[in-house]
Copies of this chain bind each other. A is one copy, B any other.
Amino acid sequence: MPYDPSAFPPFAVTVDLVVLTVQRHALCALAVRRGEPPYQGRWALPGGFVRGDEDLATAAARELAEETGLHAHDPAGPAPVNAAHLEQLATYGDPKRDPRMRVVSVAHLALAPDLPAPRAGGDARSVRWAPVEDLLDQEDGYGRDGELTAPLAFDHARILADGVERARSKIEYSSLATAFCPQEFTVGELRRVYEAVWGVALDPRNFHRKVTGTPGFLVPTGGTTTRQGGRPAQLFRAGGATLLNPPMLRPEA
């Protein structure tokens, strides 16, 4: 068939971000409050249009930096100070997903360590970390605290659920859970990440044996810390290994 510019319809292309972190033993996602219709006043995932000369990954990294101050951490190369893992998640293109026009959104998944401050780009009250459980469980209605009582805008609940599921399954067979930790961390901190993401309790002794026994997963830095209380714990850095073999098994139950 010949190449004819009128033969295909124009689309707007956006990137939406599922940014996850672990706060106070809970898996949390970044949400922004919408300032205009549609879904005005509702919470949504951060995101924006892809520019005309921009790659998809670049657009996602730009939005991430604008929203959080985090820099995407390319697996190769040294990690910057405020580094986050960033990967493409999936693409959503239902013709009716945006009532205004045809929008195809390329969702990305970002994993970040617990940040000192939410660092809103603009209005501080319009962006927040919220437990993913709260964001996904919302039914249409009024809540007692007057916050977060409506489901996420657009199809963002589905996108968030897909992102959470990706994170849950990927930490099973990769070292991705370290992306939730600061540069140096203890085995216990890493375990609490797994527990928060999976929503289960893990045996500290078996977990310790597993992660320290997997070659290339963790490298000791030599230091220790007592920031979690109790006996001082060894500090580790993420090793070069990206694939866990055999994987860390998620308890069924």
Contacts and interface: CB of A to CB of B under 8 A. Distances in A.
Interface of A: 2-3, 5, 7-13, 36, 49-56, 88, 90-95, 100-102, 104, 106, 245-247, 249, 252
Given A2-B36, A54-B95, A56-B104, A49 B7 contact: yes
5 contacts: A9-B51, A11-B13, A13-B13, A50-B93, A91-B91
**Copies of this protein chain in the complex:** 2
Contact of A12 (B10, B36, B245): B10
A91 B94 contact: no
Most buried by B among A2, A54, A104: A104
A3 B99 CA distance: 13
A55 B10 contact: no
Contacts of A36: 2-3
B53 A95 contact: yes
Given A36-B2, A100-B3, A104-B13, A94 B55 contact: yes
